[in-house]
A = this chain, B = another copy of it.
Amino acid sequence: MNQDTISRIRKFSEDRDWDQFHAPANLAKSVVIEAAELLECFQWDNDNYDLQSVKEELADVLICSQQLLDKLGLDADEIVNMKMSQNEAKYPIEKAKGKALKYDQL
Interface size range on A against B: 35 or more
Q: Which residues of B contact A59 (CB under 8 A)?
A: 79-80, 82-84
Interface pair B80/A18, CB less than 8 Å apart: no
Q: Which residues of B contact A15 (CB under 8 A)?
A: 93, 97
Interface pair A8/B84, CB less than 8 Å apart: yes
Interface pair A36/B32, CB less than 8 Å apart: yes
A-B residue pairs, 5 tightest by C-beta: A36-B36, A59-B83, A44-B100, A25-B46, A25-B42
List chain A positions with a Cβ less than 8 A from chain B. 1-2, 4-5, 8-9, 12, 15-18, 20-21, 23-26, 28-47, 49, 51, 54-56, 58-63, 65, 68-69, 72, 74, 76-77, 79-84, 86-88, 91, 93, 96-98, 100
Known contacts A32-B32, A51-B72, A59-B82; 15 further A-B pairs (Cβ under 8 A): A8-B81, A12-B88, A26-B43, A26-B44, A28-B54, A31-B38, A31-B61, A33-B36, A33-B39, A36-B36, A44-B100, A54-B72, A55-B74, A59-B79, A63-B80
